[in-house]
């Protein structure tokens, strides 16, 4: 519980100077950013975002199939017109297979996770291409939504477009 106490203390300091309670619900820049949950990435700082600018959706690997629900809500209900997919170098998703994790969960927790696709990948650039293609081909994402893909380098903080 020590970390929770640290969070609460930090939140008190944050809330004491908070002045953005009147921001509109839709993101001001009409963009949804899909990025990995990796703790080495700070999407707001890396992309120059402020509160209210964008929807930032994070999951393991920044995978589109895992984020589709949120992206549909973002576009259909909150007016986003662009999606940015960001994967990154040195990603943990490159280090295992579904079978590896299914076996680990079974051994460690005596639970069956074989019905879950953890969406690992072996090729970083191809994973970005696959996720961009998944979104472009989805009947749930309108064709007029701009979709782009990038790789974030955890060593130097730079984004590199993937075509």
HEC letters along 83-125: EEEEEECCCHHHCCCHHHHHHHHHHHHCCCCCCCCCCCCCCHH
What predicted TM-score, i.e. pTM, was given to this entire model? 0.94
Q: Is residue 16 part of a domain?
A: no
Structural domain including 78 reads 26-162
Rounded to the nearest integer, the mean pLDDT of the chain is: 97
Q: Is residue 113 part of a domain?
A: yes
Averaged pLDDT, 17-34: 97
pLDDT exceeds cutoff 70 at 1:
no
Distance, in Å, from the CA atom of 131 to the CA atom of 61, rounded to the nearest integer, reads 10
Name the nearest CA neighbour of 135 among 61, 58, 43, 72. 72
Q: Is residue 15 part of a domain?
A: no
Q: Is residue 35 part of a domain?
A: yes
pLDDT exceeds cutoff 90 at 130:
yes
Q: Is residue 21 part of a domain?
A: no
What CATH number is attached to the domain comprising 156? 3.40.1050.10
Q: Read off the pLDDT of residues 38-75 as tens digits, 9 standing for 90 and up.
A: 999 999 999 999 999 999 999 999 999 999 999 999 99
Q: Is residue 117 part of a domain?
A: yes
Counting the structural domains of the chain, the total is 1
pLDDT for residue 100: 97
Which residues, 6 or more positions from 119, have their beta carbon under 8 angstroms from its beta carbon?
60, 61, 63, 65, 66, 93
Q: Is residue 108 part of a domain?
A: yes
What band does 123 get if pLDDT is binned at 50, 70 and 90? very high
């Amino acid at each position: 519980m020590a970390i929770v106490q640290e969070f609460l203390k930090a939140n008190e300091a944050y809330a004491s100077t908070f002045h953005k309670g009147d921001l509109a619900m839709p993101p001001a820049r009409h963009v949804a950013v899909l990025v990995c949950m990796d703790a080495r990435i700070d999407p707001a700082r890396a992309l120059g975002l402020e509160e209210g600018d964008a929807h930032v959706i994070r999951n393991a690997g920044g995978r589109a199939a895992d984020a589709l629900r949120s992206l549909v809500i973002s576009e259909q209900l909150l007016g986003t017109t662009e999606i940015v997919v960001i994967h990154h170098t040195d990603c943990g998703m490159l280090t295992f297979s579904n079978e590896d994790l299914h076996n680990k969960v079974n051994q460690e927790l005596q639970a069956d996770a074989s019905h879950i696709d953890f969406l690992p990948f072996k090729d970083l650039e191809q994973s970005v291409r696959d996720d961009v293609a998944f979104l472009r081909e989805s009947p749930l994402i309108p064709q007029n939504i701009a979709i782009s893909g990038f790789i974030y380098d955890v060593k130097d903080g730079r984004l590199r477009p993937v075509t």
